[in-house]
Amino acid sequence: MPDTPAYPVGLRLAGRRVVVLGGGTVTQRRLPALVAAGADITVISPSATPSVEAMAEAGEITWERRRYREGDLADAWYALIATDDDAANTRASAEAEAHRVWAVRSDDAEAATAWTPATGRTSGVTVAVLTGRDPRRSAALRDAIVDGLRDGSLGAPHRRARSGGVALVGGGPGDRDLITVRGRRLLAEADVVVADRLGPRDLLDELPPHVEVIDAAKIPYGRAMAQQAINDALVAHARAGRFVVRLKGGDPYVFGRGMEEVQQLTREGIPVTVVPGISSSVSVPAAVGIPVTHRGVAHEFTVASGHVAPDDPQSLVDWEALARLRGTLVLLMAVEKIGAIAATLVRHGRAPDTPVAVVQEGTMAAERRVDATLATVAGVVEAEGVRPPAVIVVGPVVGVGAEG
């Protein structure tokens, strides 16, 4: 009865015997979920993909390097039949039927006693979609539902799992699509958002009306919310029982003063979660086609803050040592001091003709890149009117293009 709908059920396979026949790409795709379910998995196949073999070597599965033979499904709770031998698949299906073992067949869904749904997981929810003979539609529906749950556009009332806490979320370099899945999910659950200027600003427009947004922008050489005021706001709202998201640009711990906020919250006894973000130090160069490392060109990259001039007593950077390195130097917050920095690097050994790229508003709509050398970068930045935020890349990787 091919038109009879399947009865959906969630199998609890922890510690239970599961037999997988075949070691090809279908098996490779299905095994991670079975491992995550805690199943006792035996793969029977004379050969396997490198990934399946690696899982066997890691002890996640047992691999018997032979072909299927009758009796292999004895005592199994569930079977995946995915060999390239039609006759063996048919015999295994018959054995599964005789032993009342639910079995999936990769080659003939109609001959199977179970179907594998398109499955996704997020926020403690498992989404499984079955559309019969249309696996592409199943996958598309699964993706739409999971994406909605992750970004908060799809949801339902539920008992709150958290209250009175803070999440420090790294929002990435600015493009709304470059925040992490976890960061976006937590943002959708926030009562209060304390947002940096360099975070993904477009996401704030998606917040429900009841969410309070606090502007914690620090405009270079202009208006800024004091760090202590930010810390105090986090503490006050969390103590009032609200869930607060501190939305920061890049990664909270890469020149983001994230640890200062964590230390304050910890001293106050407030639970805090840190969600890493994509740092602009690597993502912005990548967005304009610059790899911070490249075989035969650069074997290391160094990220340094340029907000303090090299000759300033407050500087903690060993510019002389950086000048001796042969790899890539990525400078953040360095637009104002780039002239002094470039001169210092040249004075201590970097070649004046070392390529430099300055990327303003990386990953954003106003993104632009200007190129120079250490000898010319100060003049180019001034002539082009480059303003923060900008990421400056120094080194031969600047000249590495996709065509190379």
Rounded Cα distance between 194 and 120, Å, is: 31
Position 403 pLDDT exceeds 70: no
Decide if 196 is catalytic: yes
Position 157 pLDDT exceeds 60: no
Instruction: List pLDDT tens digits, range 211-253.
Output: 899 888 654 544 557 888 899 999 999 999 999 999 999 999 9
pTM for the whole thing?
Answer: 0.74
- Topology (CATH level 3) of domain 282-399: 3.30.950
Instruction: List pLDDT tens digits, range 85-110.
Output: 999 999 999 999 999 999 999 988 88
Position 274 pLDDT exceeds 50: yes
Mean pLDDT, rounded, for 114-130: 81
Decide if 215 is catalytic: no
Domain layout of the chain by residue ranges? 17-116, 166-277, 282-399
Q: What is the CATH number of domain 17-116?
A: 3.40.50.720
Rounded Cα distance between 54 and 372, Å, is: 47
CATH architecture of 166-277: 3-Layer(aba) Sandwich (3.40)
Q: What angle do CA 180, 183, 187 make, to 5 degrees?
A: 140
Q: What angle do CA 275, 240, 153 make, to 5 degrees?
A: 50
Mean pLDDT, rounded, for 146-151: 76
Pairing mode, strands 390-394 and 328-332: antiparallel
Instruction: List pLDDT tens digits, range 292-325.
Output: 999 999 999 999 999 999 999 999 999 999 999 9
Predicted pLDDT of residue 404: 58
Among 175, 196, 251, 337, the active-site one is 196
Among 107, 143, 218, 371, the active-site one is 218
Rounded Cα distance between 192 and 351, Å, is: 49
